[in-house]
Structure 1
């Protein structure tokens, strides 16, 4: 499960660079460094008219009978679930992040980041609800760098396959089965300053 992720200065700059490439300079001030929690609005890469686009979308589908939030969907079963099937076929997204957090059974907080210290591209899906546009993060079985901390991890795509996730409908099933690369793990991640 992925219940919180973060964007540092380097990833924030990369998001702003993508925005400049798609001529969305006015929205770039919303894409700063911070922790992203369920129900927060976050920068999301989507596909619009055959090209990559970016917008702010709220994290979490409304729960059943409008109770709670559904923040993750299992990549292995997302095509079978009525709540997610149409979104995975037609409304895929990428959540750019510097890393994500996971807590162990003894409540130790771990930060997981790409080994190259670049941007993490988490696969997601989105959908329009009465309350507005919402996204969930797809999860998969953990790789060896995560498995002793948690039994799930985000479906992390390489930069080269992130665009295919957004734009190539014929590749969806193959990308849902991707095994993410190993990540760096630390338990001494310094809390980002709010000021």
Structure 2
């Protein structure tokens, strides 16, 4: 599961800084730093033939009326009524500087940040929809690969740069990504 991620406007990360600055033009209250469920954060969405950043709230309203749903399982999203239409037509990408998970090995919890090796930017596959006039997103998760399995059994569907267009442009391409192995990640104490 992905319950928190990080988005810093670090001067060395020009790619992330540009996304944040673009969104802040219309949404000065946009959240940066550690992103929590229900925060409004930058999301990359297709507008014509170009990916543009937009401020979107994290979490679909729970159908039971309590809280929000922040993740969608890649394995079942194509069949679930809450996610099926979004997967077909409303895919987006979450820019980040990594995501957090906590160890659950019986001892004190340890917070780790996960990233792609040698990269300051990590993109995650997501879905969006509109609820009562408000745009919201969920992050897709999949079974953990070896790089995270000792910390958590689930991980976000991390997109490589080469997969970003495929995720956005093609429903079949998106399904192929959801069924493929995700890249190995590196962890560090957060």
Pairing of 1:126-141 with structure 2 (within 5 A): 126-130=128-132, 132-141=134-143
Report the TM-score, using the length of structure 2 for normalisation.
0.88
Name 2:35's counterpart in structure 1. Answer: 36
2:117 maps to 115
| Deviation at residue 184 of structure 1 after TM alignment | 1.1
**Stretch deviating more after TM superposition (24-33 or 126-135):** 24-33
Pair 147,64 (structure 1): closer, same or farther in 2 beyond 3 Å: same
RMSD over aligned CA atoms reads: 2.3
Whole-angstrom CA distance in 1 between matches of 2:17 and 2:188: 27
* TM-score of the pair, normalised by structure 1: 0.86
Superposed displacement of residue 17, structure 1? 3.6
**Alignment correspondent of 1:192:** none
User: In the alignment, which residue of structure 1 is the partner of 2:67?
Assistant: 68
Instruction: Give the structure 1 partner of residue 127 of structure 2.
Output: 125
Check conservation: 2:168, 2:174, Cα contact below 8 A.
Answer: no
1:164 aligns with 2:166: yes
Report deviation, 1:54: 1.5
* Corresponding residue of 2:102: 103
1:49 deviation in Å?
2.1
What is the 5 A alignment of 1:4-83? 4-8=4-8, 9=10, 13-17=14-18, 26-27=25-26, 33-83=32-82
**Are residue 144 (structure 1) and residue 155 (structure 2) matched?**
no
**How far apart, CA to CA, are the structure 2 residues paired with 1:92 and 1:11?**
28
Q: Is the 8 A contact 1:51 1:167 kept in 2?
A: no
More helix by share: 1
Q: Indicate conservation of the 8 Å contact 1:40/1:58, yes or no.
A: yes
Unaligned runs of 5+ in 1: 190-195
- Partners of 2:133 and 2:102 in 1: CA distance: 30
